[in-house]
Amino acid sequence: MLNKICKILLRSLWGEDANVKKFRKRMSFLEFFFFGKVFGVSICNKKYKDVSAHIIKPRGCDSSKALLYFHGGGFVSHSPKVYQRFCSRLAKELKCVVIVPDYRLAPEHPFPAALEDCVTVYQEIVKKITGANFRLCIAGDSAGGNLALATMLKIKEIGLKHPCALWLISPAVDCDWSKYDYSDLQKSDPMFTENAFPLMDAYFGDEDKSNYMISPLNGDLRNLPPILVEAGGDEIFRRHPILLENALKSCGGDVIVKIWPRMMHVFQLFTFLPEAKKSISQACQFLENKMNPSETSKN
Active-site residue list: 142
According to the 3-state scheme, what is the secondary structure of 104-144?
A: CCCCCCCCCHHHHHHHHHHHHHHHCCCCCCCEEEEEEECHH
Q: What is the DSSP letter of 99?
A: E
112 prior amide bond cis, ω within 30 = yes
Contacts of 35 (CB under 8 A, 6+ apart): 81, 82, 83, 84, 85
User: What does DSSP assign to residue 184?
Assistant: T
Residue 297 CA to residue 176 CA, distance in Å, equals 37
Give the number of C-alpha atoms closer than 13 A to the C-alpha of residue 106, restricted to the C-beta side: 21
